[in-house]
Amino acid sequence: MKAKIDKVLEIWHKHFEDVAHQYSEFEPSDIEYFVGCMLYNHFAFSKRLDNLQTMDLSYDFLLSCGEEYDTIQAIIQEIKFESEEESLKFLLSFIEESRMKYSSHELYLLNRLDKHLQTLSDIYDGVIDVSPVDFKNPLYR
């Protein structure tokens, strides 16, 4: 599985080396963040929070990632584990390794994803009991 992720990172880091492919406020760590989001969406964790059923990829990133997106999506679809816990462990490990590659000012998005994944880990471990969130406007009930 790690080889597949390394291939994905190689493709997109090479793609984004070209400044013409970069969007405003692009950080190289964005690549790892968005790969993490794609993995999160692919794994579709059953215990995820209601308001985080998917992790949205930014419009700027999607516009800039080029034809490589389809190749990368296909690689990510090949990544499978026996259980959601194994998938989560893999994703947490990927984010931790990614965080070690960058300086603190480049970690905003990765830290956000890591915090959410740590919460998800606590849910799977039974540390946190999740109750559904009601997003309806109370004035219209």
Query: 109-140 pLDDT, tens per residue?
Result: 999 999 999 999 999 998 888 766 666 766 76
Boundaries of domain holding 136: 2-140
Average pLDDT, the chain: 90
User: What's the rounded Cα separation, in Å, for the pair 85 and 38?
Assistant: 17
Q: What secondary structure does DSSP assign to 51-80, as a single string?
A: GGSS-PPPHHHHHHSTTHHHHHHHHHHT--
Total of domains in the chain: 1
Q: How far apart are the first and last CA of the chain?
A: 48
Tell me the two tokens of residue 34.
Answer: 């968005």
Helix intervals (H) in the chain: 2-17, 29-43, 59-64, 68-77, 84-99, 108-124
Cα separation, 110 vs 102, whole angstroms? 10
User: Degrees (nearest 5) of the Cα angle 101, 107, 110?
Assistant: 95
**Percent of the chain surpassing pLDDT 70:** 91
DSSP state of 140: G
What pTM does this model have?
A: 0.86
pLDDT in the model for residue 122:
93
